[in-house]
Amino acid sequence: MVAAVRVIAYGEAASRADEHMRLSGNVIAQSAKLLIEYIVERWGSTYLRRPIQEELKISMERNKERGMSGCMGFLDCCH
């Protein structure tokens, strides 16, 4: 579990995580895949949905203040 979380959270290669966990890279990669599938199955309906009108309005206002007028969302590649 720890190795799978490290792969997902830090983008660490499964073959690198196997040095710390003493598991094969294939086992870690498969565990990470199963964990992602579980997360999507469990939390997908909550977080992977279209925003309601009120959420969209708040997001648009915040983004306008940030200089991204008309933008519903963006990634800054820092977080």
Give the DSSP per-residue string, the chain. -HHHHHHHHH---HHHHHHHH-S-HHHHHHHHHHHHHHHHHHHHHHHSSPPPHHHHHHHHHHHHHTT-TT-S----S--
Quickly count: other Cβ atoms within 10 Å of residue 31's Cβ. Answer: 21
Q: What is the mean pLDDT of each run of 10 residues along the chain (79 residues)?
A: 86 77 85 93 85 89 87 62
Q: How far is CA 7 from the centre of its chain?
A: 12
Q: How many separate domains does the chain show?
A: 1
- Residue 77 confidence (pLDDT): 55
User: 45 lies in a domain?
Assistant: yes
* Distance, CA of 71 to CA of 27 (rounded, Å): 40
- Residue 41 confidence (pLDDT): 93
User: 19 lies in a domain?
Assistant: yes
User: 78 lies in a domain?
Assistant: no
**Does the model's pTM come out above 0.75?**
no
User: 35 lies in a domain?
Assistant: yes
Tell me the residue range of the domain where 35 lies.
2-65
User: 76 lies in a domain?
Assistant: no
User: 22 lies in a domain?
Assistant: yes
- Residue 15 confidence (pLDDT): 79
* Distance, CA of 35 to CA of 7 (rounded, Å): 11
- Residue 74 confidence (pLDDT): 61
